[in-house]
Amino acid sequence: MKKQEVLIVTNNPLVKEKIEGNYNIDFVEGDILNVMEKLRDMIHKGSVLLTHPLSGSIKPGQTPYKSVMVHIVEGDVDADSLLMIEDAIDNCKKFVKRADEFREGTDEDKQFIDFTLISSGIESFEAIK
């Protein structure tokens, strides 16, 4: 898989700022649920998740930011990716309404945590390509 076939879908401005130029970025205006729905649409067209949509130990209701790496391909739906994203969407719907409770004064910290998680995924990808 080539680097240009990889896309990072994110709503995190820090990820966009730090990674854009090195990887293709699809910046989603909206919350974590909007990111998950964008990923689901891509998976229905054949794209495959390269990082888990709920990576880390932070629940969707505890952070408004999420970045996920996908392999951009067109074709059959990858069943594993579809199951993961549908499960992630269900979890987001349970918790996303609480995200604002944890937001005040912590935006930069939450952006950095998400940036760290996707950076780890990028390092893993680069180690195997």
pLDDT in tens, 103-125: 566 789 999 999 999 999 999 98
> Which pLDDT belongs to residue 103?
56
> Which pLDDT belongs to residue 72?
94
Taking the model in full, what pTM does it have? 0.89
User: Among 94, 35, 86, 90, which residue's Cα sits nearest to residue 61?
Assistant: 94
Crossing angle (nearest 10°) for helices 79-95 and 32-44:
160
Q: Is the pLDDT of residue 98 over 70?
A: no
Q: Is 109 exposed, middle or buried (0-12, 13-18, 19+ CB in 10 A)?
A: exposed
